Amino acid sequence: MDFVQNVPFFSIMLSMFSGIISSVLSEKWAKWLNTAVILVISVMSGLLLIYLCRTGLGSYIFMMGHFPAPWGNEIRAGVLEAGMAMFFCIVMLLSMTGGRKKLFEEVEYSKHNIYYILADMMLSSLLALVYTNDLFTAYVFVEINTIAACGLIMIRQNGRTIEAAVRYMIMSLLGSGLLLMGICMLYDLTGHLLMSNISQAMAQIMAHGTYRIPMLVTVGIMTIGLAIKSALFPCHAWLPDAYGYSTVSSAAMLSSLVSKGYIFLLIKIFYRVIGLDIIYSSHIIGILFIFGLCGMLFGSFSAIGEKDIRRMIAFSSVAQIGYIYMGFGLGTQEGMVASVYHILVHAATKSLLFISAIGLTDVSGGSRSFFDLNGSGYRNKIAGVGFAVGSLSMVGIPIFSGFVSKLLFAKAAVINPTWKMFPTVIVLAISTILNAIYFLKTVIRIYTPEKQSVVEEKGYYSISWDKQKLYTVTIILFVILNLILGMNSQPIIRMIETGLANFA
Amino acid sequence: MTEANFLLNYGEEVAILLFGIGFANLLVQKNLIKKIIGLNIMDTAVYLFLAEKGYITGRMAPIVVDGVQEVEAYINPIPSGLVLTGIVVSVSVTALMLSLTVRLYKRYHTLDLDEISARLRKEGL
């Protein structure tokens, strides 16, 4: 075994122990440790990715402890897992740096190192969700992820965030309760907890035909549980408050990483535990498809009606999660690839939008209202550019990342014509127009100059890039990430395809 | 055959019923404490289900006594292990929820989540 194959284990342990060590460090050292750990993990995951592509190994199993397959615990890494880990680390690093100034303003200084502990724990549970091959381990890390995310929401102490954290916890606990019940029933039916073993037993049970219905119920329960946790349409009530009022780094990380971790786990369960044939021939994906479509429309309508820019971006997340589930619901390989690509796109774009929106509201007297943003794109130029790029990407303008995933969704729907083709294409078109309405409306407003008298009266100020160097660099890197996803999509799509092929 | 199974597996049925009760309470109760009670009922129901499934009639807990080492003498230890892990998770989650409830109660002097939301909207924070 090559040394680089230890990377998944090292990344999980490194992030977890950095969290534990941060509890005795000062704010400054915790901050540096957090940054260093994220950087190291992204570099290591990149090396693993290169190694896996070079050797053509596809994926391999890493034994945790000394007990072999049916008894011990396992990690499994492949191209897709390594790529996701690297991508998540990059987005997390940029989200942390972009919101650092705001963190100082909004959070008591004594709580800063707690913030870094929570961020480290969130990262470690996310990596564990990406890499683990054991369902019960996945459940435990899902809960750790939930608790860390709840802490990230309520680190900024006011009534709103505590209420948002409570609502988030309630919905998450409903979801993880269902997931736990599903895992226990699956264990009961198959007698295994490791994903690969379950899928063998699953194939036997399905071929035999006796426990078909209990099995489908179990799969349905697990799917619904994870869908609730990742805020699929009818269960998204907690989302706007949680993303809208927490400190900006938390909002960026919650929308781009935490919910994506659950979706990644769900993909893994589809491929590795249940098997694609079984899931595609059941009605479960039909349900996901319909709720995905509803989410795409409803999220956009709510965003149009919203006057608060942060909440508007949060509602847009509901629509984008709808896209991802719609891609699952298509029930084809192409749909799955499009969904995975959209996970990347949404993670890169939504965190950019949150981070640049905060720059815009800061120069508008801290008001989050949409009407006070007039001309803020001139007062904080780099934030304006970031917001414009993010908006164009979400709307789906070519050369930006959102275009590629929308193209992939449309292609996936048309290439295998079923009854799902027309609804997908129509809703995709409507949703694009709705996205354009609320995002371009905001972009036009931030580039509409404000009257000089109003600027003086309300005390708006301009901020140049040399006053906020870290923020500027963050936004530039985010924009570059967006352009890479938008203009260099073929290699990434091929990587996703090989990754998914090695997934089962 | 099916009727006999239905009667024999009453433990699992009770567990699923309790799960439903807990789930519904967590979802629809307005009072935060009642929600947390619902959460605990839901989690405990899962443990009951696991314990019920892990027990094999006539066998002992998997602790070697008197040198008996045959597999047939003991029950499967994994469900018990899962229950222990689950208890740890649910205790920490409950503690977190209770602490959040205390925070909200100190601020708003009520446990009704909807009323808290209404007041927040009025504050316009």
Is-contact B61 B74, C-beta < 8 A?
A: yes
Query: What does chain B come to in residues?
Result: 125
pLDDT above 70 covers what percent of chain A? 100
The shortest C-alpha distance from B66 to chain A (Å) reads 26
Given a cut of 90, whether residue A109 has pLDDT beyond it is: no
* Structure-block tokens of residue A301: 């309508």
| pLDDT confidence band for A218 (50 / 70 / 90) | very high
Choose the mutation target among B39, B100, B123 for the interface with A, i.e. most A CBs under 10 Å. Answer: B100
Facing residue for B26 by CB, picked from A140, A170, A180: A170
Choose the mutation target among B16, B28, B97, B106 for the interface with A, i.e. most A CBs under 10 Å. Answer: B97
The ipTM value here is 0.93
pLDDT of residue A107: 87
DSSP, res A72: S
* Chain A contact for B111 (CB, 8 A cutoff): no
Facing residue for B96 by CB, picked from A140, A150, A167: A150
Given a cut of 80, whether residue A4 has pLDDT beyond it is: yes
Q: What chain B residue is nearest to A153 in terms of C-alpha separation?
A: B100
Terminal alpha carbon distance of chain A: 22
Contact between chains at B96 and A147 (C-beta distance less than 8 A): yes
Summarised one tens digit per residue, pLDDT across range B40-91 is 999 999 999 999 888 888 888 888 878 777 888 888 888 889 999 999 999 9
* Partners of residue A165 in chain B, C-beta under 8 Å: 100
Give the whole-angstrom CA distance, residue B117 versus residue A401: 37
Q: Where on the phi/psi map is residue B123: left (φ > 0), alpha (ψ -120 to 50), or beta? A: alpha
pLDDT of residue A456: 77
* Structure-block tokens of residue A25: 């460090």
A150-184 b/e (C-beta count within 10 Å ≥ 16 → b):
bbbbbbbeebbbbbbbbbbbbbbbbbbbbbbbbbb
The shortest C-alpha distance from A446 to chain B (Å) reads 23
Q: What chain B residue is nearest to A170 in terms of C-alpha separation?
A: B26
Nearest to A225 by CA among B81, B17, B46: B46
Which range among A333-337, A415-419, A483-487 shows the weakest confidence by mean pLDDT?
A415-419
Summarised one tens digit per residue, pLDDT across range A316-374 is 999 999 999 999 998 888 999 999 999 999 999 999 999 999 988 888 887 888 888 88
The shortest C-alpha distance from B100 to chain A (Å) reads 7
Given a cut of 70, whether residue B4 has pLDDT beyond it is: no
* Chain A contact for B48 (CB, 8 A cutoff): no
Give the whole-angstrom CA distance, residue A448 versus residue A462: 15
DSSP, res A234: G
Give the whole-angstrom CA distance, residue A502 versus residue A492: 15
Q: Is the pTM of this model over 0.90?
A: yes
Summarised one tens digit per residue, pLDDT across range A44-83 is 999 999 999 888 887 888 888 888 878 888 899 999 999 9
Which range among A38-42, A272-276, A471-475 shows the weakest confidence by mean pLDDT?
A272-276
DSSP, res A449: P
| pLDDT confidence band for B3 (50 / 70 / 90) | low
Q: What is the H or E stretch that residue A76 is in?
A: strand A73-78
For tokens 């102490």, name the residue: A157
pLDDT of residue A320: 92
* Partners of residue A169 in chain B, C-beta under 8 Å: 93, 96-97, 100
* Chain A contact for B99 (CB, 8 A cutoff): no
pLDDT of residue A144: 93
Q: What chain A residue is nearest to B103 in terms of C-alpha separation?
A: A162
Contact between chains at B26 and A180 (C-beta distance less than 8 A): no
Range B12-21, long-range pairs (CB < 8 A, 24+ positions): B12/B49, B12/B52, B12/B53, B14/B48, B15/B45, B15/B46, B15/B48, B15/B49, B15/B52, B16/B45, B16/B49, B17/B45, B18/B42, B18/B44, B18/B45, B18/B48, B19/A177, B19/A181, B19/B45, B19/B46, B19/B49, B21/B45
Contact between chains at B104 and A169 (C-beta distance less than 8 A): no
Contact between chains at B100 and A154 (C-beta distance less than 8 A): yes
3-state SS, residue B31? strand
- Phi and psi for A380 in degrees, rounded to 5? -130, 90
pLDDT of residue A260: 92
Nearest to A220 by CA among A178, A172, A176: A178
The shortest C-alpha distance from B104 to chain A (Å) reads 7
* Partners of residue A173 in chain B, C-beta under 8 Å: 26, 39, 93, 97
Q: What is the H or E stretch that residue B47 is in?
A: helix B32-54
Choose the mutation target among B21, B34, B48, B78 for the interface with A, i.e. most A CBs under 10 Å. Answer: B78
pLDDT of residue B1: 47
Contact between chains at B107 and A162 (C-beta distance less than 8 A): yes
Contact between chains at A167 and B50 (C-beta distance less than 8 A): no
Arithmetic mean of pLDDT over chain A:
90
Contact between chains at B89 and A150 (C-beta distance less than 8 A): no
Facing residue for B104 by CB, picked from A146, A163, A181: A163
Question: Mean of the pLDDT values across residues A389-393?
Answer: 93
* Structure-block tokens of residue A204: 């036997």
Given a cut of 80, whether residue A476 has pLDDT beyond it is: yes
Contact between chains at B26 and A173 (C-beta distance less than 8 A): yes
Q: What chain A residue is nearest to B32 in terms of C-alpha separation?
A: A166
> CB atoms < 10 A from the CB of A313, how many?
29
Choose the mutation target among B89, B111, B119 for the interface with A, i.e. most A CBs under 10 Å. Answer: B89
Is-contact A325 A66, C-beta < 8 A?
A: no
The shortest C-alpha distance from A177 to chain B (Å) reads 7
* Structure-block tokens of residue A167: 């609502």
Rg (CA), chain B: 21
CA quadruple B11, B16, B18, B19: dihedral sign: positive
* Partners of residue A184 in chain B, C-beta under 8 Å: 46, 49-50, 53, 82
Give the whole-angstrom CA distance, residue A91 versus residue B48: 41
- Phi and psi for A63 in degrees, rounded to 5? -80, 130
pLDDT of residue A483: 93
